[in-house]
């Protein structure tokens, strides 16, 4: 049996399928970002599921062709089974289950957030524990103390919106494109980040938790008050807003470093593709911590991270029954138990 693991991710609007060769550390991936959502300026769940269904078999064929392998050579199959859009996840999960069943291969379900936590290690480096695992994406803003593989303590989460979510919403208000993070980053390059001021939000119950909805409301108010929101205005607002998101991330990271005394930070998730955020974190925290951020192509959703985690788990003897179910939420690090404890 060759050491080849298949990973599938259909958690949102990217259809992705990858092979991980655990012996050589090599990846081969096929990914398609759905463009059906652009005209709606946001992901339409029903369209996303249908698109995954049409795309997955095509990507699988092309992946096997590219890698020049036969399905029977696979050592195991892993798939995202939480969190995300439930219809989208169901498509990938059902596809992976059927494939594993028909080939009699070991099967495992992967938490997509755990995938992002380890995507900085897709370059063949081995994790050193403990580390502060930071996931900033369209649906999540979390910091975990990763004590070991599979042992995660939630240090921080958001009490309202996620970082990527407010970037997407702000881009929609300004009508500058979708997804919002890259659209804001693009026009922010020429903007004045000092033109609009945003406070650093304080979460009374737990000052290292994130809160992004207040700055989103403030940015919207700036936008609505302007009679002529021309390109210069939008660039300045984008730069100021992006800066407010970055400042908050750095503030919460400083607090997490103090709290845990853990000086290794490993980032992941779509928002960490932001060059300004990457540079600012290294500039501000680089003297105080070792910082790992995935290559830009592996910040956003990808199946390589799922293939790698599937390999690690299956090789160490973990598999799932084909009866596992899809979930729209993650429970990594007892996410909800912690949330309830502080009364949200």
* Chain residues that interact with ligand KG4, rule: CB under 6 A: 12, 137-139, 164, 167-168, 179-182, 185, 269-271, 273-274, 300-301
Q: How far is CA 186 from CA 36, 191, 287, in A?
A: 22, 10, 28
Stretch that binds Zn ion, among 34-42, 120-128, 134-142, 177-185 (CB under 5 A): 134-142
Q: Specify whether the CB–CB gap between 80 and 17 falls below 8 A.
A: no
185 binds, among ligand KG4, Zn ion, none (CB under 5 to 8 A by kind): ligand KG4
User: Which ranges in 127-193 belong to alpha helices (H)?
Assistant: 163-174, 180-188
Q: Specify whether the CB–CB gap between 141 and 163 falls below 8 A.
A: yes
Q: Specify whether the CB–CB gap between 94 and 79 falls below 8 A.
A: no
- Which residue in the set 29, 243, 301, 320 belongs to the binding site for Zn ion (CB under 5 A)? 301
7 binds, among ligand KG4, Zn ion, none (CB under 5 to 8 A by kind): none
311 binds, among Zn ion, ligand KG4, none (CB under 5 to 8 A by kind): none
3-class secondary structure per residue, 76-112 = EEEEEEECCCHHHHHHHHHHHHHHHHHHCCCEEEEEH
Say which DSSP state 343 is in.
T
Q: How far is CA 21 from CA 5, 108, 154, in A?
A: 6, 17, 31
Stretch that binds Zn ion, among 37-45, 188-196, 244-252, 300-308 (CB under 5 A): 300-308
Give the separation between CA 224 and CA 110, rounded to whole angstroms.
42
Q: In whole angstroms, how large is the CA radius of gyration of the chain?
A: 20
Stretch that binds Zn ion, among 129-137, 146-154, 163-171, 198-206 (CB under 5 A): 129-137
Q: Name the residue nearer to Zn ion (CB basis): 55 or 137.
A: 137
139 binds, among ligand KG4, Zn ion, none (CB under 5 to 8 A by kind): ligand KG4
Distance of closest approach, residue 158 Cβ to ligand KG4, in angstroms:
13
Distance of closest approach, residue 275 Cβ to Zn ion, in angstroms:
19
208 binds, among ligand KG4, Zn ion, none (CB under 5 to 8 A by kind): none
181 binds, among Zn ion, ligand KG4, none (CB under 5 to 8 A by kind): ligand KG4
Q: Specify whether the CB–CB gap between 270 and 43 falls below 8 A.
A: no
- Which residue in the set 137, 240, 242, 272 belongs to the binding site for Zn ion (CB under 5 A)? 137
Neighbours of 310 (CB within 10 A): 33
Distance of closest approach, residue 296 Cβ to ligand KG4, in angstroms:
8
Distance of closest approach, residue 157 Cβ to ligand KG4, in angstroms:
14
Which residues contact Zn ion (rule: CB under 5 A)?
137, 301
């Amino acid at each position: 049996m060759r050491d080849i693991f298949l990973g599938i991710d259909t958690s949102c609007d990217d259809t992705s399928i990858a092979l991980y060769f655990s012996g050589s550390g090599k990846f081969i991936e096929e990914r398609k970002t759905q463009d059906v959502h652009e005209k709606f300026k946001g992901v339409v769940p029903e369209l996303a599921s249908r698109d995954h269904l049409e795309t997955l078999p095509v990507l699988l064929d092309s992946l096997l062709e590219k890698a020049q392998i036969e399905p029977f050579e696979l050592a195991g199959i892993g798939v995202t089974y939480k969190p995300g859009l439930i219809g989208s996840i169901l498509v990938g999960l059902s596809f992976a289950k059927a494939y594993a069943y028909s080939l009699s291969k070991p099967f495992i379900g992967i938490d997509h957030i755990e995938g992002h936590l380890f995507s900085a290690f897709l370059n063949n480096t081995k994790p050193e524990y403990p580390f502060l695992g930071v996931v900033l994406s369209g649906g999540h803003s979390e910091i975990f103390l990763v004590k070991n593989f599979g042992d995660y303590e939630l240090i921080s989460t958001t009490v309202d919106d996620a970082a990527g979510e407010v970037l997407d919403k702000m881009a929609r208000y300004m009508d500058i494109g979708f997804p919002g993070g890259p659209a804001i980053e693009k026009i922010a390059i020429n903007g004045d980040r000092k033109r609009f001021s945003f406070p650093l939000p304080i979460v009374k119950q737990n000052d290292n938790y994130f809160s992004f909805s207040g700055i989103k409301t403030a940015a919207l108010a700036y936008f609505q008050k302007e009679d002529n929101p021309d390109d210069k205005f939008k660039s300045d607002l984008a730069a100021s807003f992006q800066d407010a998101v970055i400042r908050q991330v750095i503030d919460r990271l400083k607090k997490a470093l103090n709290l845990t005394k853990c000086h290794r930070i490993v980032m992941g998730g779509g928002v960490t593709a932001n060059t300004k955020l990457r540079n600012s974190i290294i500039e501000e925290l680089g003297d105080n911590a070792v910082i790992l951020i995935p290559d830009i192509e592996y910040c956003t959703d990808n199946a390589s991270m799922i293939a790698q985690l599937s390999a690690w788990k299956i090789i160490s003897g973990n598999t799932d029954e084909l009866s596992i179910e899809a979930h729209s939420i993650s429970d990594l690090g007892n996410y909800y138990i912690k949330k309830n404890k502080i009364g949200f």
